[in-house]
Amino acid sequence: MLRLTKKADYGLMALKYLAEQQLLTPQAPARSAKDIAEAYHIPPQLLAKILQTLAKAGLLVSHAGSNGGYALSRPALGITAFEVIRAIDGPLFITSCITIHGTCDLAGHCTIKEPLRKVNDSIKDLLNGIRIGDLIDPAEFGSAAVAGGLVSIAV
4-56, pLDDT tens digit by residue? 899 999 999 999 999 999 888 878 778 999 999 999 999 999 999 999 999 99
Band of pLDDT at residue 81, cut at 50, 70 and 90:
very high
36/55 Cα distance (integer angstroms): 15
CA gap 130, 136 in Å, rounded = 11
Whether residue 140 has pLDDT greater than 70: yes
Domain ranges of the chain: 6-141
| Domain 6-141 is found in CATH 1.20.120.1200 | no
Q: Where are the beta strands (DSSP E) in 2-147?
A: 60-63, 69-72
Residue range 88-114: mean pLDDT, rounded? 71
Cβ neighbours of 148 (radius 10 Å): 12
